[in-house]
């Protein structure tokens, strides 16, 4: 009897040791998985940090490529170079010609460079990020010589917040030009002066052929198309706008070259301009902007950016928007007092009361 009890006690002790071993193995597996998880998480965080650093380096490398080309363009403009050549390949950096001086290597030790640099001096779309009260001059010249049939304008509000159409006029029948403090629309009024410049020009032809339009943003009304016209009927045009932007197509054109002066009253606008032929084909526009497409690289990380740069010393109007220019002397004499105005100073009587001594 005692022999049987001793055997049973021995079996129980063996089973207790087996449970301990199994418990220890399970704990070791769980701890190993936790350690592996933390190690994986640490490696992922380390890689994300490295990728962010490399991404910034690649972005700066792409910016360096853009700045290198801008310096070439500015130097060419300063020396009177008429045209900037197209660069449509990634492999011709520094091989000769206009772009011979480009050096794509930023830091050879860390493998930072711009790997591809493209330049399009005749883009189909011109982009202006900040059209304000100081007017911007936009050359619209067909690169192929095909006559321009239609000009497309698209602009967006730069006012952050709610729907920009809130508070916009519902029609142009009422007075829409109010003091700035009374303008509650998120869009500005776009002033457009469009004049053809093909062929021989004179001051009279420029004056009589200029289309001047104030594109008034309307809420749920208005039009998105108008024909080129020099009459005063188009001076105030209600344009239908949405929460994402306003658009206007100016048709009935037919020359290869136009100049447009544009400004935005009340609020600044981001503007895109394009042109089409009579068949609706987009036209490349020369002499206004160049699109620089640069790809930067830092080890195995790439960043690509596109920048529109002017092909002029400045896109802003170089003359005052609110001035009179004349080859003769201009004078104006008047007196103002409380409750009194007189343009005939000192009782001068003449056919020209303003220019008497």
Quote the tokens at residue 109: 């030790």
pLDDT > 90: percent of the chain: 42
User: Can you tell me the mean pLDDT for 211-240?
Assistant: 86
The DSSP secondary structure of 316-331, one letter per residue, reads B-SS-TT----SS---
In a domain, 24, yes or no: yes
Q: Examine residue 355 and state whether it is found in any structural domain, yes or no.
A: no
pLDDT at site 3:
53
Indicate whether 130 and 189 sit together in one domain: yes
Same-domain pairing of 71 and 128: no
Average pLDDT over every residue of 21-45: 81
pLDDT in tens, 143-164: 999 999 999 999 999 988 778 9
203 and 166 in a common domain: yes
Range of the domain at 103: 15-121+293-310
Q: Do residues 172 and 218 touch, judged by C-beta distance below 8 A? A: yes
Residue 94 binned pLDDT confidence (cut-offs 50, 70, 90): very low
pLDDT at 329 over 80: no
Instruction: Tell me which residue has tokens 């526009």.
Output: 285
Burial 294-321 (b: 16+ CB within 10 A, else e): bbbbbeebbbebebbbbbeeebeeeeee
Please indicate, yes or no, if residue 315 is contained in any of the structural domains: no
Residue 350 placed within a domain:
no
Same domain flag for 111 and 64: yes
pTM score above 0.85: no
Claim to verify: residue 207 and residue 192 sit in the same structural domain: yes
The pLDDT of residue 6: 56
> Residue 295: its pLDDT value, please?
94
pLDDT score of 281: 95
**Statement to judge: residues 252 and 129 lie in one domain:** yes
Give the pLDDT of residue 334. Answer: 64
DSSP codes of every residue in 17-79: HHHHHHHHHHHHHHHHHHHHHHHHHHHHHHHHHHHHHHHHHHHHHHHHHHHHHHHHHHHHHHT
* CATH number, residue 142: 2.60.120
> What is the torsional sign of CA 272, 259, 77, 285?
positive
The reply to whether 188 falls in a domain is: yes
Is residue 3 domain-resident?
no
Cα angle 276, 282, 288; round to 5 = 85
Average pLDDT of the residues in 70-89? 84
Residues 184, 57 share a domain: no
Same domain assignment for residues 231 and 131:
yes
Residues 146 and 38 grouped into a single domain:
no
- pLDDT score at 340: 65
- Closest Cα to residue 296, out of 47, 67, 122? 67
Task: Give the separation between CA 171 and CA 73, rounded to whole angstroms.
Answer: 45
Mean pLDDT for the stretch of residues 73-89: 83
Q: Domain for residue 356, yes or no?
A: no
Residue 276 shares a structural domain with residue 155:
yes
Same domain, 163 and 244: yes
- The tally of domains found in the chain comes to 2
User: What does the buried/exposed string (b/e) look like for 32-47 if buried means 16 or more CB atoms within 10 Å of the residue's CB?
Assistant: eeeeeeeeeeeeeeee
Residue 320 lies in a domain: no
Same domain, 136 and 184: yes
């Amino acid at each position: 009897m005692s022999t049987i009890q001793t055997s049973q006690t021995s079996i129980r002790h063996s089973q207790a040791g087996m449970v301990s071993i199994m418990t220890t193995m399970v704990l070791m597996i769980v701890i190993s998985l936790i350690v592996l998880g933390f190690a994986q998480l640490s490696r992922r965080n380390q890689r994300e940090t490295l990728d962010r650093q490399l991404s910034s380096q690649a972005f700066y490398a792409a910016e360096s490529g853009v700045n290198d080309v801008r310096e070439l363009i500015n130097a060419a403009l300063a020396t009177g170079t008429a045209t900037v050549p197209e660069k449509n390949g990634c492999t011709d950096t520094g091989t000769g010609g206009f772009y011979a001086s480009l050096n794509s290597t930023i830091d050879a030790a860390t493998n930072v460079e711009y790997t591809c640099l493209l330049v399009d001096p005749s883009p189909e779309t011109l982009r202006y990020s900040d059209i304000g009260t100081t007017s911007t001059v936009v050359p619209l010249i067909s690169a192929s010589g095909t006559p321009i049939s239609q000009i497309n304008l698209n602009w967006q509000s730069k006012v952050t917040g709610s729907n920009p159409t809130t508070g916009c006029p519902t029609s142009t029948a009422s007075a829409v030009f109010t003091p700035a403090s009374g303008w509650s629309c998120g869009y500005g009024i776009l002033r457009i002066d469009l004049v053809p410049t093909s062929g021989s020009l004179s001051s009279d032809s420029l004056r009589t052929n200029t289309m001047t339009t104030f594109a008034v943003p309307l809420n749920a009304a208005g039009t998105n198309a108008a024909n080129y016209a020099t009459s005063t009927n188009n001076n105030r045009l209600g344009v239908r706008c949405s929460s994402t932007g306003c658009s206007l197509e100016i048709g009935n054109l037919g020359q290869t070259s136009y100049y447009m002066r544009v400004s935005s009253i009340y609020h600044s606008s981001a503007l895109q301009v394009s042109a089409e032929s009579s068949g609706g084909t987009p036209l490349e526009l020369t002499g206004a902007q160049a699109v620089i497409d640069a790809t930067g690289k830092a080890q195995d990380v790439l960043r690509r950016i596109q920048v529109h740069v002017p092909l002029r010393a400045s896109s802003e109007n170089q003359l005052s928007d609110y001035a009179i220019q004349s080859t003769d002397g201009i004078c104006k004499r008047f007196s103002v007092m409380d409750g009194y105005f007189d343009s005939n100073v000192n009782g001068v009587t003449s056919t020209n009361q303003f220019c008497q001594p």
